[in-house]
Amino acid sequence: MLDEMVAFWHVVEHGGFSQAARALGVEPSSMSRSVARLERALQAKLLIRGPRSMALTELGEQVLRECALIRDAAGNVHALAARYGARPSGVLRVSAPVVLGQLWLAPRLASFAAAYPDVDLQLSLNDRPIDIVTERVDVALRITTQPPQDLVARKLFDTPYVLVASPAYVAAHGAPERPEMLTRHRCIHLGFGAFDANWPLRRGEEQMTVAIAPRQAIGNSLALASAAEQGAGIALLPLFSAQAGLDAGRLVRVLDAWTPAGTYERAAYLLYAAGARVPPKVKAFVEHMSKAP
């Protein structure tokens, strides 16, 4: 009935069916039918039609005021949509893994805020799987072997995993020369989800999986790196979590000729909902982070 109410407003505003039809570029008969449908729906007369004039009934005057409000509201909605569609603005909800969010994403948020001052960013850090639609997340930063097929995925970079230990641990226990020698060492790992006690390793065409007996399972890669720095054992963790320790000499690579394979061959992606119209704030964030050093 909204279309009929707007048509009724135009008929009164333009002073007749023909005048309203010309203003809207439609046939006069369509305007007449719209007003007739509105009167039938309300079961009341809104217009008194004469040979050369028309007048509003008492109810018609009240209905006209309400129709004007509806027309104004429709105009406001169109203007609002135009503003949102023209430039990045509004609340942007982003989800990221805890450690990658701390080490990589957070340091890059200041430049995004400076570039897009009308975007209010809300960042949630967690490692659990999320449904970005039901949880109303605009963009999710995730590390995965394969991004979901029902979302748009922009790859940022590979996230290699490495074997590390402290120099003190290696001095006390030696460094394994072959993957199978890991079974003789204290090994520590993430220990959740796909990160179990089976470590797949590859060197060129040679590949093997070593079943370790982990002494510690620590479900945070920065905490895992810290434990390794203190000599807890040999750790398998993302390079981005071990990099600071390696650069400072608190950690050293172990079996560096071997690459963690299988579930450890991952990359970081920005994920967002598929659709014909990507909100400007989402597009801006994805483009900005894709170009970030």
pLDDT digits (tens, 9 = 90+) for 145-202: 999 888 999 999 999 999 999 999 999 999 999 999 999 999 999 988 889 999 999 9
pLDDT digits (tens, 9 = 90+) for 90-125: 999 999 999 999 999 999 999 999 999 999 999 999
What number is the average pLDDT over the span 245-268? 96
pLDDT on residue 172: 96
pLDDT on residue 86: 66
pLDDT on residue 85: 59
pLDDT on residue 82: 58
Confidence of residue 263 (pLDDT cuts 50, 70, 90): very high
pLDDT on residue 166: 98
Check pLDDT > 70 for residue 84: no
pLDDT on residue 255: 96
φ, ψ for residue 197, nearest 5 deg: -85, 10
Quote the pTM value. 0.72
Decide: 253 and 163 in contact? Cβ < 8 Å: yes
pLDDT on residue 81: 63
> Which tokens go with 58?
């008492």
Check pLDDT > 90 for residue 221: yes
How does the average pLDDT of the chain come out, rounded?
A: 89
pLDDT on residue 115: 94
Decide: 235 and 227 in contact? Cβ < 8 Å: yes
DSSP 8-class letter at 134: T
CA–CA dist 147, 155 (Å, integer): 9
